[in-house]
Amino acid sequence: MQNQNMNQTGQQITPNMQPNATYSNNHGGHEVFDAHEVLAGIISMLDQYQMYEQHIQDSELKTIAQRQAAFVTQTYNTMVEAFSTGQDPAVPTKQYKMTQNNDVVYGVKPGQPKKPNKSVNELSDQGLSAYMLGITKSLSTLLAMTALEMTNPVLRRVIADSVPNFIELSYEIFLYQNKNGYYQVPQLMQQDMNLMLNSFAKAQQQGNISH
């Protein structure tokens, strides 16, 4: 009779090597790697915001950076709890509410060509806000891709719900840049714009839509 503590290959089974073992937090391997990448990315964002804040001159931009950092810190804590326990976090995902209005200035005005700074002494609010925008946009994309790889339903929902928030962080910075002339938005000629806007028509609805 085969020893009950041996598997078919003759290898002894220890508590950590039981076949078909189930994990209480039901995370998949790929999911764990993605979650690590997300959490490390958020840490990087918070660390960089601390560095940027030391050089920001505009009080409005500094307030945006501080408010965003505080919100993302709570988001990070919520993700860490959901990841480590696999259960509903004590503090659920919140909704970020920006203070900028939605008015966009369209058109392009001539300005000086951009070039790399020679030293940190040349850091400006234009450049710093651009760095902030780059970070939040990158994390928005990363969170969206990662949410598609989650197997744990709680962690998936926490990350998925955070995508709109990081998009909102990005949009707030864009609006700040736009009104200060840092991020200019060109438009098509009116005739071309009208043609593009009217290039599609609604489709006839097929089947029943459940409400």
Q: Is the residue at 5 inside a domain?
A: no
Q: Is residue 20 part of a domain?
A: no
Residue 192 tokens read as 């071309």
Query: Is 63 contained in some domain?
Result: yes
Q: What parts of the chain have a pLDDT lower than 50?
A: 1-24
16 occurs within a structural domain: no
Model pLDDT for residues 40-94, shown as the tens digit of each residue: 999 999 999 999 999 999 999 999 999 999 999 999 999 999 999 888 999 999 9
Structure tokens at 210: 């459940």
pLDDT at 11: 45
Containing domain of residue 91, as a range?
A: 27-110+120-196
In-domain check, residue 8? no
Is residue 159 exposed (0-12), middle (13-18) or buried (19+ Cβ within 10 Å)?
Answer: buried
Number of domains into which the chain is organized: 1
Cα–Cα distance measured from residue 9 to residue 23, given in angstroms and rounded to the nearest whole number? 24
**Any idea what the CATH number is for the domain that residue 98 is in?**
1.20.1260.10
Q: What is the mean pLDDT of the chain?
A: 88
The Cα 81–Cα 150 span in angstroms is 15
Cross-strand pairs, 106? 185
In a domain, 174, yes or no: yes
Cα 187–Cα 189–Cα 190 angle in degrees, nearest 5 = 105
Q: Is residue 157 part of a domain?
A: yes
Q: Does residue 10 fall inside a structural domain?
A: no
